[in-house]
């Protein structure tokens, strides 16, 4: 349900200021792909020896081809129409091909694939995934999650032929280049399904049932531990990705950690977020249910959220979400005196509830509780609600001014510049650099995710903050930033930053995934690629 904000009721903070701030031109227009998660689903029940059940991996009829297509479209509608970006990327990377047609980037949900690396004609991704699932008796949900955790293709707004050739990461070891003989989207999906099917059917695996020593990272120096693998499906995941997350990687949710490895952790998280979690076995049909033993054998299960008769009875004694929302909103209303008089009853919206007042609103969800939002922060947040999520605090006043936290970031307010947002991935680094007094200067945009390799960036007056799960968040600014731009930023040979500026006996320099940039006030910047 869409709720329309009454802007006249918020006149003390001008909408005009918001518009002026929000339309700042970004220093480097690299607006790309889809948002990536920065908050994890629960890992409380993660078991390194039982990541997915044999039953769940073998549910090859869990989705029809039409359902797979609907899922792909819901996750990515191919709505990036930035033709200037397409031309810029193509000019800077002549050996990489993007598919831009009918005024937009063609993404996975619309693309057609032939044999080998043929793109633009052939079969849909939904058909290829469904057919592989049927041929190898593997749950199509497993293949969808695999595509996302390996290359981010499900949500990638501007995929290219290089992404498709290694779509599932099959034949791409961590310590060597990908094998060309496995290139191509269709080839990748079917090879992955075949590997899972082989292990699930009792075939060879280097991580058999029982106790196995499994590393935390490709680097042996990061250590590992003995894991008791309890089923063949989990064994198949380790044959595919032979590392387990360490404690720090688990604590980081979807984030990064020292000596972390994220493949199997992210598989578990995406399966929870997208498909409701791992089922150990087919649900038992309750009295009067139409489910049969045949439907369970075919991989059909009760819909997500279905409960047994006992659970339903227990649920009746609990408060409903709306009743709890009324209690929490009433409590918040007593504290938020600046809101004025109520203008509506509690209404439902996007998985939560809200109540309108003269000067703002109170929002509630089961996850976040009830918080008030008003003024310029409200106006800014209303444009970013889907990306930033619901409020997790009221307004906070500290050395960085007035600001308010949300599920995926914060919005800061200043009477001179209005409201501006900062994503959670960038906020900690920005605060570390001094917040409003940092060398980065004023904000230029609301941040973007879905860059190369699933990264994110937020632009400021003198530079950007970049983030990936692998590297963490680092700022690039000044002369080094200008050189980084010339080198193609994260899309170029240098990759993402792996440090902030370093000053030592070698002068001022900054490290990146594939090299360093050195800066001298007399000679300018020099790029040194890793050997």
pLDDT in tens, 8-21: 344 433 333 333 33
Residue 475 pairs in a beta bridge with 465
**pLDDT for residue 382:** 87
For 528, residues 6+ apart whose C-beta sits below 8 A from its C-beta are: 515, 516, 517, 518
The answer to which of 26-35, 79-88, 279-288, 344-353 has the lowest mean pLDDT is 26-35
Residue that has been written with the tokens 């790309």 in this structure: 32
Domain-embedded: residue 496: no
What 3-state DSSP class applies to 362?
Answer: strand
Q: How far is residue 72's CA from residue 145's CA, in Å, rounded to a whole number?
A: 11
Q: What percent of the chain has pLDDT over 70?
A: 85
User: What integer best gives the mean pLDDT of the chain?
Assistant: 83
* C-alpha span between 498 and 473 (Å, rounded): 8
How many structural domains is the chain composed of?
1
Task: Let me know if residue 375 belongs to a domain.
Answer: no
Q: Is residue 78 part of a domain?
A: yes
- Does any domain span residue 69? yes
How does pLDDT run across 489-509, given as a tens digit for each residue? 999 999 999 999 999 887 899
Angle, helix 185-200 to helix 232-240, in steps of 10 degrees: 140
**Closest Cα to residue 5, out of 430, 450, 376, 482?**
376
- Looking at residue 142, what is its pLDDT? 96
CA-CA distance, 337 to 374, in Å (whole number)? 11
* Residue-number span of the structural domain to which 70 is assigned: 54-277
248, part of any domain: yes
Model confidence, pTM: 0.50
Task: Answer yes or no: is 267 within a domain.
Answer: yes
What are the start-end ranges of the H helices in 119-251?
A: 125-136, 140-151, 161-165, 185-200, 232-240, 247-251
459, 28 contact by CB (below 8 A): yes
Alpha carbon distances (Å) from 57 to 11, 240, 505: 55, 14, 55
Kindly state whether residue 298 falls inside one of the protein's structural domains.
Answer: no
For residue 109, what pLDDT band results from cuts at 50, 70 and 90? very high
Strand order in the sheet with 463-468: 448-449, 456-459, 463-468, 472-477
pLDDT band at 520 (very low <50, low <70, confident <90, very high): confident
The answer as to whether 319 is a domain residue is no
C-alpha–C-alpha distance, residues 150 and 164, integer Å? 11
Is the CB of residue 167 less than 8 Å from the CB of residue 129?
Answer: no
């Amino acid at each position: 349900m869409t709720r329309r904000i009454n802007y006249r009721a918020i006149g003390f903070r001008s909408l005009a200021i918001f518009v002026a701030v929000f339309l700042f031109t970004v220093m480097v227009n690299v607006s790309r792909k889809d948002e990536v998660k920065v908050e994890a689903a629960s890992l409380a029940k993660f078991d390194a020896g039982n990541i997915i059940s044999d039953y769940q991996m073998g549910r090859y009829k869990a989705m029809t081809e039409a359902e797979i297509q609907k899922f792909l479209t819901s996750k990515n509608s191919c709505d990036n129409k930035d033709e200037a970006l397409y031309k810029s990327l193509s000019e800077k990377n002549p050996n990489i091909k993007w598919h831009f047609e009918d005024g937009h980037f063609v993404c996975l949900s619309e693309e057609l694939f032939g044999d080998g690396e043929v793109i633009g004609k052939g079969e849909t991704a939904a058909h290829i995934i469904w057919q592989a699932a049927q041929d190898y008796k593997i749950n199509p949900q497993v293949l969808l999650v695999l595509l996302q955790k390996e290359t981010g293709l499900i949500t990638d707004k501007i995929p290219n032929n290089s992404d498709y050739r290694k779509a599932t990461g099959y034949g791409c070891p961590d310590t060597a280049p990908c094998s060309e003989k496995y290139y191509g989207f269709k080839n990748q999906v079917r090879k992955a399904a075949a590997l899972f099917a082989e292990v699930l059917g009792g075939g060879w695996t280097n991580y058999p049932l029982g106790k196995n020593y499994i590393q935390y990272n490709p680097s042996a120096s990061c250590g590992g531990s003995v894991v008791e693998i309890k089923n063949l499906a989990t064994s198949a995941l380790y044959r595919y990705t032979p590392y387990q997350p360490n404690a720090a990687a688990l604590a980081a949710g979807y984030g990064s950690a020292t000596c972390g490895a994220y493949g199997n952790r992210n598989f578990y998280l995406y399966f929870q977020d997208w498909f409701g979690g791992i089922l150990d076995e087919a649900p038992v049909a309750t009295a009067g249910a139409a489910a049969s033993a045949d439907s369970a054998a075919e991989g059909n299960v009760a819909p997500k959220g279905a409960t047994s008769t006992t659970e339903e009875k227990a649920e009746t004694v609990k408060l409903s979400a709306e009743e709890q929302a009324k209690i929490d909103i009433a409590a918040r209303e007593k504290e938020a005196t600046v809101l004025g008089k109520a203008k509506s009853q509690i209404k439902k919206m996007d998985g939560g509830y809200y109540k309108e007042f003269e000067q703002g609103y109170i929002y509630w969800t089961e996850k976040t509780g009830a918080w008030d939002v008003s003024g310029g922060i409200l106006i800014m947040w209303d444009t970013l609600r889907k990306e930033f999520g619901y409020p997790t605090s009221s307004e906070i006043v500290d050395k960085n001014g007035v600001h308010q936290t949300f599920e995926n970031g914060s919005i800061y307010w200043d009477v001179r510049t209005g409201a501006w947002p900062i994503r959670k991935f960038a906020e900690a680094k920005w605060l570390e650099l001094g917040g409003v007094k940092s060398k980065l200067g004023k904000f230029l945009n609301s941040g973007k995710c879905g860059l190369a390799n699933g990264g994110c960036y937020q632009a400021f007056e003198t530079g950007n903050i970049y983030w990936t799960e692998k590297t963490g968040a680092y700022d690039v600014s000044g002369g080094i930033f200008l050189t980084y731009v010339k080198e193609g930023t994260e899309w170029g040979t240098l990759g993402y930053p792996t440090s902030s500026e370093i000053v030592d006996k070698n002068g001022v320099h900054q490290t990146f995934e594939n090299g360093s940039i050195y800066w001298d006030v007399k000679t300018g910047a020099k790029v040194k690629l890793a050997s």
